[in-house]
Homo-oligomer: A and B are copies of this chain.
Amino acid sequence: MPSLTLHPDRLLPADPTTRRIARKLYAAVRDLPIISPHGHVPPQWLADDVPFTDPTSLLLTPDHYMTRMLHAQGVSLADLGVGGHELTDVGRREAFRLLCTHWKAYRGTPVKFWLESELVDVFGIDVVPSAATADHIYDAIQAALSTPDFRPRALYERFGIEVLATTDDPCDDLAHHRSLAQDPSWHGRVVPTFRPDKYLEPATPAWNGLVDRLGDVAGVDTGTLAGWVRAMAERRSYFGANGAVSTDHSHRDARVEPLEPHEAERLYAAARQATVTPDEGDALRRHLMFEQARMAAEDGLVMTLHPAVRRNHHGPTAEAYGADVGADIPMAVEFTNALQPMLEAFGTAPNFQLVLFTIDETVYSRELAPLAGFYPSVYVGAPWWFIDAPDAIARYRRAVTETAGFSRTSGFIDDTRAFLSIPARHDTNRRMDSGFLAELVADHRLTMDEALETAVDLVVTCPREAFKL
């Protein structure tokens, strides 16, 4: 069976001269701490430090990057344990075998790169996944997971994580974050992120119940728009007090537009009566986003936008398996006009900061880099989700840098639930950025000294500045 090894030059440019330069740049950043200002690791893992149970529950079932491709190969999501379909011990082993059997399907995707990195670097496994090796790999991972070295806190240490942001509901009591903060044996930094999407979609059936709860948790009557704003401000403040540095927002478009106060109140009242139309719901949502921006300019929480994905594209799958199973499909997005009212109001406010993410790569050179090259508040976010991958990372730097330079970019975010893939993801980005900088040195756009300083800036300075860390 073919042996699995990781080449030290993987992802570096093929041209020998450029590769030599890239090696030097990569060597300067390879072992720097990991700053992860946006992601989805459950804080409870680190708070409770309970051992992971098995390879499938840890690596496969919750990772929609993996499960979606198996679904495209004709595998049933139920057989992967997705959507609460509980698997037996045998079922988990079978699910992992499905992954290994279809391993070929991941060729050319970052999932292959990440998982192979995890197998070798985290677990010391040296065989390529396949039907023949599935059990061996499963057993090896299972054995490792039962040892103290593979408990969450040990891995956090081993991965060299300096700060890890989670993503949290505004009504969350942040108990795990507080518990970590009060634990004298814990020396890491896990910060919450305020993610209020559901509370900003007044045309959805769940909205009224959510807003009631928001009022209860904040101790504010949310019967009026003013109440909603006060409740939000209170929860943002609670998050800030517990370490949050940013709020995250993902809606179907990027528009942020205030309504006339009277109209806003009217729509809010209608929404509380559950009588808004979808268009009115959108209009009110864009106003509520404007309120979030206004609060951000006051409380200083960095605002991050991840817009324009059609969630749950396939209804029957959503009904059977719930959300976040790989059936969210991106759409074209527009920022220049959509953000204009917000940037008109807050774009040069001293405390306001905005990080703009996109899966629609067309906006990088056309809209995001020009915006970030003018507004001191705007940062171009790193490639996200489907495009957090080597070639897409290279396209991002090529599309953004000539207009916005390096200083106006966010630094890498891993945005992942897959805790064990975090080092491989950051490593991928460090390798690609080293390669990009090496090309600028090779064609004499940067000196080696400039490139070395920039390589470190991208890993350290950019995320600290963009996320106020």
Contact = CB atoms under 8 A, between A and B. Distances in A.
Contacts of A372: 72
B109 A401 contact: yes
A90 to B, nearest CB: 25
Interface stretch (A182-190, A205-213, A260-268, A357-365): A357-365
Contacts of A110: 402
B360 A386 contact: no
Interface in A312-365: 313-317, 326-332, 334, 336-337, 340, 343-344, 347-348, 359-362, 365
A28 interface: no
Given A10-B444, A110-B402, A373 B69 contact: yes
A391 B386 CA distance: 22
A105 interface: yes
Contacts of A362: 332, 360-362, 366
A176 interface: no
A444 B117 CA distance: 12
Given A365-B386, A365-B392, A402-B391, A313 B336 contact: yes
A386 B407 contact: no
A446 B360 contact: no
A71 B366 contact: no
A376 B329 CA distance: 15
Contact of A454 (B107, B343, B401, B446): B107
A152 to B, nearest CB: 29
Nearest to A438: B14
Of A108, A110, A113, chain B has the most CB atoms within 10 Å of the CB of A108
A468 interface: no
Given A366-B360, A387-B365, A390-B445, A373 B326 contact: yes
Contacts of A439: 14
A407 B105 contact: yes
A313 B340 contact: yes
A12 B454 CA distance: 22
Contacts of A402: 108-110, 386-387, 389-392
Of A13, A328, A374, A395, chain B has the most CB atoms within 10 Å of the CB of A374
A233 B365 CA distance: 37
Contacts of A374: 68, 71-72, 313-314, 326-327, 329
Given A332-B362, A365-B387, A386-B369, A405 B7 contact: no
Contacts of A365: 359, 361, 386-387, 392
A447 B107 CA distance: 10
A113 B439 CA distance: 15
A177 interface: no
A105 B72 CA distance: 44
A91 to B, nearest CB: 21
A125 to B, nearest CB: 16
Contact of A10 (B12, B310, B443): B443
26 contacts: A2-B447, A11-B445, A14-B18, A14-B442, A15-B15, A68-B373, A69-B405, A71-B374, A71-B376, A72-B373, A104-B450, A105-B405, A108-B401, A108-B445, A108-B454, A109-B402, A109-B405, A310-B340, A313-B344, A313-B374, A327-B374, A329-B374, A332-B334, A359-B366, A391-B399, A391-B401
